[in-house]
Amino acid sequence: MSEIDDSAVQKVASLARLHLEPEEREAVRQDLVRVLDHVQSLASVDVEGVEPLNNPHELSNALREDTTSAPLATDDVLDLAPATHDAWIAVPKVLGEGS
Amino acid sequence: MKTARDISQHVNSGGSAVEVVRDALNRIQADASNAFRETFEESALAAAADLDRRIAGGEPGGPLAGVPVAIKDNICTTQGRTSCGSKMLEDYCSPFDATVVTRLQEAGAVVVGKVNCDEFAMGSSTETCHFGPVKNPADPTRVPGGSSGGSAAAVAAGLVPVALGSDTGGSIRQPAAFCGVTGFKPSYGQVSRWGLVAFASSLDQIGPFTMDSADAALVFGVLRGGDPKDGTCDPAPAKPCQVEPADLKGMRIGIPTQATTDGNAESVSNMMQQVRKHLVGAGAELVDIDLSLLDQGISTYYVIATAEASSNLARFDGIRYGHRANAPGAGPDDLMALSRSEGFGTEVRRRILLGTYVLSAGYYDAYYNRALKIRRMIRDEYLKAFASCDVLLSPTTPSTAFELGGITDPVEMYLCDRYTVGANIAGIPGISIPFGQDEQSLPLGLQLLAAPFADESLLNTAAGIESLRDRAGIWGARNA
C-alpha cells in the first residue's frame, strides 16, 4: 500500500496550486492511493542499466533562423484576460505592505 | 453518408459544396448524441460558397473539396471556442488556428464545428466533459469512448465524414472502436501539434476519424508534413497519401500472446478467432509475438502522462486567460489555486495531483524516472517485434462500449487503454478499424500497429483487412 497521509495530500495540492476543501481531501487521498497502488507494478521490472527514454524517437533540438514575425495583436490577447486595466492584465497585489 | 473522397470528387466536378455543407449542418442540428459543442453555420456556408465560386472559375478545389469536418474541442480554431471540454476554457476563443485546421482548409475542407471531448482529453468515455457526456450512436445508453468521443460519434452518426481527434493513450482508437468507425493515430512526429492544447507532449498526436482507411489516408496526406512551429514534427515536406489495399498473402501479421489471453470480453475473443481464421484463409502468416511488458503499459503510461500533464496544465492560472475565481482580497497564490480548483473537474485535478506527486522530491526516481526506463524497454520490445512481423494485430479494447456511468473506479477506467497506450509510449502508428459486432449489435474494433513512420504501409494493410472483412460479409462502418 502506498503511504499517503493527509499532510502529503496537502503538500502535493499546494505544489500543484490546487485548493482542496477539507472534506474533499480524504476522497482525493483514497484516489491517489488507489492509482499509486496500481502503478507499484513498475517496481517489479528490472531496469538495471536502462537509460530513461523521454521522447519516443530520441529527437534532438530543432533549430531555426532567429527571424521576426508579427506578434498577436495586443487587443486580441487582452480580450482573453479575465480582468484588465488599460493595456494591462489586472492581478491581485503581489508585493505586501512595506516590501 | 458519402465518403470524403466521393464528396471531393463530386464537388471538384461541379457539385455544390454549399449543398453538401448545408446537409451536414441539418444532420448535426437533428442529432441528439451531444457530439457537437457548437457549429459554425455562417462561416461554413460562406467557405463552401467561396469554394463553389472558385471551382466554377476553373480553380482546383483541393483533395478535400467541400468535405465537412468536425474538430475536437482541444484543437485551436479562430472560429468559435476552444474549450477542451472544460469550465476552465468555457469561453476561450483562440487567436490563431492550429496547423492541422489551416491545412484542412487549404485542401478545401469546410470546418463545420467543434466536437466534445473528455476534459483536457483526460478520460476514456467522454463523461468528464464539462458540457455533458456524449452518447454512443450505436446505443444511446452507452459511452462513445474517449477522449475524442464527440469526434467518433460525429462520424458514426453520419453527421460528418471526417473528424479530427487527438490520441495520447488511445483517445482516437478506443472511441473509434466503441462507435464502429476508423480511427488513425499517426507516428509521433508525422503531424504538427501546433495549436493542439498540450496534455502529455511526448505522447500526444493528432489524427483523423473516418469511415474507412482510404479516407484516413486521404486526410493524413493533407495533415502530414513538417511545421517550423512544432519542433517534434518531422521536417519532411507534405505529400499526398493514397491507399493501396495490401495483398495479405505472405504478409507476416504478429499477434501478441498477451492480447489473446484472459481479460477480454467473450465477444472480443471471438472476434480475434474470426480474424485469425480469415487471415489464414487469405494466405497471411500469423506470428506469435511475446510483448512481455504489455501489462506494464498502463502503469508506465499513467506515470508519464500525468507528470507531463501536471507541467503542461500549470499554464492555466486564471491570470492571463481562462477561468478566474471571484475572490476579492485573495492574494496571487490563493487566486491561482481557487481558479484552478473551480476551473478543473475531478479527473483533471486527480491527474495533476498524481503527476505532481510522481515528480516531487523523493518520488521522482521511484516513479517518473523508472517509468521512463520502462518506456525504453517497451519501445525496444515493439521495435524487436517489427523485425519478425509487418504489423501487430490485437483488439483495440478489451470490451465493447460500456454503459454511461458504468465505470466509476479510475483504475478500471484506465485499463480500457490496455491495448492502445503502447503505440503512444513507443511513438508508433496505430489504427482501429471496425470488425463485426457483439451480440448486442455494439461495434468491435481491431487494432493494427506498425513500425515508426511505416504509416502508409499500416494504412494499406488496414485497407487490405477491410476488403477481407467486406468480402466475408462481416459488419463494418462502410455498410452502415
Tally Cβ neighbours within 10 Å of residue B32: 9
Q: What is the average per-residue pLDDT within A5-17?
A: 96
Q: What is the pLDDT of residue A99?
A: 45
* pLDDT the model gives residue B262: 75
**Residue A97: band (very low, low, confident or very high) from pLDDT cuts 50, 70, 90:** low
Q: Give chain A positions within 8 Å (CB) of B168.
A: none
Q: Distance from A22 to chain B by nearest Cα, in Å?
A: 13
For an interface test with A, which of B192, B230, B349 has the most A Cβ atoms less than 10 Å from its Cβ?
B349
ipTM: 0.94
Encoded amino acid at B192, one letter? S
Chain-chain contact of B296 with A42 (C-beta, under 8 angstroms): yes
Comparing alpha-carbon positions, the chain A residue that sits nearest to B292 is A45
Structural contact between residues B288 and A47, judged by C-beta atoms closer than 8 angstroms: no
pTM of the model: 0.97
Contact B88, B28 (CB under 8 A): no
Q: Measure the CA–CA gap between B381 and B403, rounded to whole angstroms.
A: 34
- Say if the Cβ atoms of B299 and A83 lie within 8 Å: no
pLDDT of residue A2: 64
Nine-digit cell string for B454: 511505416
Report the sign of the C-alpha dihedral through residues B312, B317, B318, B323, in that order: positive
**Interface residue B202 vs chain A (CB under 8 A):** yes
Count of CB atoms within 10 A of residue B145's CB?
35
Closest CA relative to residue A28, chosen from A46, A7, A51? A7
Chain B partners within 8 Å of A15 (Cβ): 356, 360
Q: Name residue B198's amino acid.
A: A
Q: What pLDDT is recorded for position A58? A: 82
CA distance B344 to B161: 32
Give the Cα separation of B213 and B458 in Å (integer). Answer: 10
Residue of A nearest to B309 (CA): A16
Q: How many residues does chain B have?
A: 480
Percent helix, percent strand, percent coil in chain B, to nearest 5? 40, 15, 45
At B480 the pLDDT is: 47
All domains in chain A, ordered by first residue: 6-42 (1.10.20)
CA distance B427 to B205: 9
Would you state the pLDDT for residue B1?
A: 82
Taking all residues of chain A, what is their mean pLDDT, rounded to a whole number? 90
Q: Give Rg (Cα) of chain A.
A: 23
How much is the pLDDT for B120?
98
Nearest CA among B445, B451, B469 for reference residue B248: B469
Confidence tier at A64 by pLDDT (50, 70, 90): confident
All structural domains of chain B, each given as residue ranges with its CATH number in brackets, are 1-293+370-480 (3.90.1300.10), 299-365 (no CATH)
Asked whether B248 and B464 are in contact (CB, 8 A), the reply is: yes
Mean pLDDT, contiguous 10-residue spans, chain B (480 residues): 96 98 98 97 98 98 98 98 98 96 98 98 97 98 98 98 98 98 98 98 98 98 95 92 96 94 90 97 97 96 98 97 95 96 97 97 95 98 98 97 95 94 98 97 98 98 97 79
